[in-house]
């Protein structure tokens, strides 16, 4: 029976992959609608023929990797259970230590290690493709260092979460999901508070903006918007990428507005001021805090569904998956599997909310700067630097885009420009 389950799972994954290959490379139409041709949103007006071809090719490959990598994670966890590797990891852990916490730590290092190996090909292909298309400038040793940092951060996080989670499962078979959610609230806020000052500096060097004239203009804009900001930070990303970015991160006193140095090198001061006004909107309209609230609502629903699905799965398929009880540490891959599927299923809704907030930020920025020319040109440069699709396929937009497409963003700015001019 378990062999059939494995074969069916792999076959389903292959069919799924073939569908998305056909959809992205043959079916999806990314051509601009007729009414937008010749406008400032038309790639033909700001990209040359080679850049348009490269952006289409790169986007197709990148999107295919996305749609293949997430279900591959599900297949990995399913096969780990089906072929008894989770049981083996537990056996190795129990033979290595008599202390429960150390047993969990050893179990998790084995699971994390094999997960890292299984997903490494996807990560490496993504890295090598970004190098081939001149998006990434990062050397392999530097990229590998970031991968290993990510591995240990992920392992450290699991080492905090999993022992508490399975302790709660033993203490309360029917309410562990609720207690886990309640504990996740302070943990989520604490991690977001630490992110800018502890986690982010592990990957890159941050420093106050060196261009003091620009910083003065940005802080004046922040003061106008009643934002208590004293610094704008820049981060050295040129050694890793040619892409551009700026963002708001952290909460409370650790909240930061961050500019990549690639953005500083490629955009004019007026364009940067538009980008900064966009980021300030996230602070003014409290998008970060709304984001936390939405995340907590989805995580509550997700943990409850995980509780129900895990119980049903173990009751029906526990023998085949080598899981005698939900609270047994061998069920960790099942927990990750269910949570990953639910997260993927929720992504259209979370992306929709994020796109709404980003549209709000674009409108706020253009109202503050009243400079549609700089705004449009900044989006055109962002498109060129990242080889982004101006008009992505529908499924890509639904599952991948937490920002509006460049077609939506530039056309909105053009409408403002026409209205403002009149």
The burial of 33, by beta-carbon neighbours within 10 Å (0-12 exposed, 13-18 middle, 19 or more buried), is given as: exposed
Give the gyration radius of the chain's Cα atoms: 24
Is 278 known to sit in a ligand binding site? yes
Nearby residues of 268 by Cβ (< 8 Å), 6 or more positions away: 374
CA distances from 314 to 24, 77, 172, 326, 333 (A): 37, 15, 17, 7, 12
Residues 6+ apart with CB under 8 A from 221: 273, 276, 277, 280, 368
Consult the annotation and say whether 282 binds a ligand.
Answer: yes
Q: Are 379 and 334 in contact (CB under 8 A)?
A: no
Nearest-angstrom CA–CA distance, 283 and 260:
19
Q: What contacts 78, CB < 8 A, 6 or more positions away?
A: 6, 9, 333, 337
**Three-state DSSP class for residue 208:** strand
Of 215, 261, 362, 371, the active-site residue reads: 362
Active-site option among 200, 234, 279, 357: 279
Our answer to whether residue 279 is catalytic in this structure is yes
Cβ-contact 252, 193 below 8 angstroms: yes
Helix (H) or strand (E) holding 396: helix 394-400
> What φ, ψ does residue 137 adopt, rounded to 5°?
-115, 10
Asked if residue 373 belongs to a known ligand binding site, the reply is no
Angle (CA) 210 237 273, round 5°: 50
Point out the residues that are catalytic: 279, 362
Binding-site residue numbers for Zn(2+) are: 278, 282, 358
Binding-site residue numbers are: 278, 282, 358
């Amino acid at each position: 029976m378990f062999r059939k389950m494995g074969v069916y799972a792999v076959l389903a994954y292959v069919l799924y992959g073939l569908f998305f290959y056909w959809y992205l490379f043959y079916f999806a139409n990314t051509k601009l609608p007729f009414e937008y041709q010749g406008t400032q949103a038309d790639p033909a007006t700001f990209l040359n023929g080679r850049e348009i071809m490269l952006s289409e090719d790169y986007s197709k490959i990148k999107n295919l990797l996305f749609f293949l990598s997430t279900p591959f994670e599900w297949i990995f966890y399913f096969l780990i259970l089906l072929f008894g590797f989770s049981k083996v990891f537990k056996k190795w852990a129990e033979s290595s230590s008599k202390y429960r916490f150390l047993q969990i730590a050893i179990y998790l290092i084995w699971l994390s290690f094999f997960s890292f190996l299984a997903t490494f090909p996807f990560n490496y292909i993504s890295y090598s493709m970004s190098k081939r298309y001149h998006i990434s400038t990062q050397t392999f040793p530097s990229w590998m260092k970031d991968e290993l940092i990510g591995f240990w951060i992920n392992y450290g996080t699991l080492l905090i979460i999993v022992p508490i989670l399975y302790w709660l499962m033993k203490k309360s078979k029917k309410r562990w999901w609720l207690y886990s959610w309640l504990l996740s609230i302070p943990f989520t806020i604490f991690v977001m508070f630490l992110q800018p000052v502890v986690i982010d500096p592990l990957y890159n060097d941050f420093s106050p903006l060196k261009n003091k004239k620009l910083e003065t203009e940005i802080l004046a804009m922040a003061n106008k918007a009643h934002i208590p900001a004293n610094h704008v930070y820049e981060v050295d990303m040129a050694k890793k990428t040619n892409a551009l970015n700026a963002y708001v991160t952290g909460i409370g006193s650790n909240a930061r507005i961050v500019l990549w140095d690639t953005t500083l090198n490629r955009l004019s001061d007026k364009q940067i001021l538009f980008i900064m006004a966009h980021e300030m909107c996230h602070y003014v309209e409290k998008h970060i805090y709304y984001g936390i609230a939405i995340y907590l609502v989805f995580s509550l629903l997700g943990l409850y569904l995980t509780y129900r699905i895990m119980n049903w799965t173990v009751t029906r398929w526990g023998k085949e998956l080598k899981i005698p009880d939900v609270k047994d540490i061998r069920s960790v891959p099942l927990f990750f599997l269910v949570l990953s599927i639910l997260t993927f299923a929720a992504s259209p809704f979370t992306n929709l909310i994020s796109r709404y907030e980003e549209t709000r930020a674009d409108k706020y920025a253009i109202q503050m700067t009243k400079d549609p020319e700089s705004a449009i040109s900044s989006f055109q440069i962002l498109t060129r630097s990242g080889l982004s699709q101006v008009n992505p396929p529908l499924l890509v937009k639904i599952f991948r885009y937490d920002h509006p497409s460049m077609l939506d963003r530039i056309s909105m700015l053009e409408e403002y420009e026409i209205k403002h001019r009149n």
